Amino acid sequence: MKLAAYDPDVSAALDRELAREREGLELIPSENFVSEAVLEALGSVATNKYAEGYPGKRYYGGCQFVDEIETLAIGRAKALFGAEHVNVQPLSGAPANLAAYSALLKPGDTILGMDLSHGGHLTHGHPVTFMAGIYAFVRYKTAPDGTLDYDHLRTMALEHKPRMILVGYSAYSREIDYAKVKAIADEVGAFAMADVAHIAGLIAAGEMMNPVPLFDIVTTTTHKTLRGPRGGMILCKAAHQKAVDKAVFPGLQGGPHENVIAAKAVAFKEALEPAFKEYARQVRKNAKVLEEEFLKRGYRLCFGGTDNHLLLIDVTQRGLTGRQAQHSLDSAGITVNKNAVPDDPRGPMDPSGIRLGTPAITTRGMKEGEMRTIAGWIDEAIAHHEDEATLSRIKGDVKVLTDRFPLYPGLSY
């Protein structure tokens, strides 16, 4: 029985979500639109199979075909990133990070990671997380100009003697010199780890530097710029293979979601195509145009601009908070997320900034000209954030634009 006939409530909600995605501008940098092939794999019969263990070493029978799927995903991920070993079973980025820590560290070990307000992630040591109670996190920050101060990072490493140095961020917009970080880690006898959840697709396409050949361990999500299903992945040196696999299963997870792994395999195949390289190149081009447009309009861009797919913008100088800007832009059909800025004096639920990025709108085919138009709409919506008529008019203009870039034609629930 079709979903619409059996559960019209869920069907209707999904159709409304589809309409929202089609008719609006999705600028949250951690979101993207997967292909219909990825959607098909995600909703496949692989969802029915329980497969604790790894290919060729399962605890259940009947795994020969999901073994094929998982092996394909692993092989394609290795080819994408030049990895010696890949585990595609983590359910998301946070579990992947916890597995990476538990694979290489002991409780109480020190991790040197980025401060959340300077672009880090909750799982990089924020006190509210479970892992902050297991490991001793020391947090570094960016320099006043928004760059990473590698000399200061080295000084902190020499002082605190961490067992692991962690780079890779959720709101940082600049390139990372992985060779410098690895040299610091080697000097103090620490593991080098990168969390590339946001920029994995740009790395796979050769648009940003790749830490995988250098670092001990690298974690990522498989959505965001990699344009796959929501999930996680760990890439590591062969020397850590056994520890990583044991940390994921049975250490932290039970049966893997083989339907998600099937969708990961499809997304990795797509990322190996020449068209994906052009996509990633356009993602960065589009982000640079947004940077230029916002700088031209006098906005303060955190970290001075962008080298990747995202921008972090302080909106308080425009007389509103990040939460207010997010709400007003929602009313205008433009989706961003409120976000803390470095050393933000405001709380996380009503911070000073907004974070926006180009992966999803680039997937739809939008280029430089559309970026200039979009930047103008964002500026206008922020300037008239209490004017419902202006926001409504922008939302209508947004729909005219998005109608030119169809999303999932023919799909309905």
Selecting among 141, 154, 182, 224, the annotated active-site residue is: 224
**Is-catalytic flag, 49?**
no
**Is-catalytic flag, 344?**
no
Given a contact cutoff of 8 angstroms between Cβ atoms, the answer to whether 268 and 233 are in contact is: no
**Is residue 116 marked as binding?**
yes
**Is-catalytic flag, 404?**
no
Selecting among 49, 230, 284, 288, the annotated active-site residue is: 230
Distance CA 115, CA 112 (A): 10
Q: How many residues belong to the chain?
A: 413
**Is-catalytic flag, 379?**
no
Selecting among 15, 23, 31, 50, the annotated active-site residue is: 50
Given a contact cutoff of 8 angstroms between Cβ atoms, the answer to whether 178 and 145 are in contact is: no
Please list, in sequence order, all residues whose beta carbon lies within 8 angstroms of the beta carbon of residue 181, skipping any fewer than 6 positions away.
Answer: 150, 153, 165, 167, 192
**Is residue 120 marked as binding?**
yes
Cα–Cα distances (Å) from 84 to 109, 236, 272, in that order, read 26, 6, 17
Q: How many CB atoms lie within 10 A of CB 154?
A: 18
Selecting among 110, 219, 221, 222, the annotated active-site residue is: 221
CB burial of residue 206 (10 Å; 0-12, 13-18, 19+): exposed
**Is residue 24 marked as binding?**
no
Selecting among 26, 70, 195, 344, the annotated active-site residue is: 195
**Is-catalytic flag, 316?**
no
Beta-strand runs (E) in 134-247: 136-140, 164-167, 191-195, 217-221, 232-236
**Is residue 98 marked as binding?**
no
**Is-catalytic flag, 343?**
no
Selecting among 7, 21, 31, 52, the annotated active-site residue is: 52
Query: What is the number of H-type helices and E-type strands within the chain?
Result: 15, 15
Binding site feature residues for (6S)-5,6,7,8-tetrahydrofolate: 116, 120-122
Q: Which residues are catalytic?
A: 50, 52, 195, 221, 224, 230
Binding site feature residues: 116, 120-122
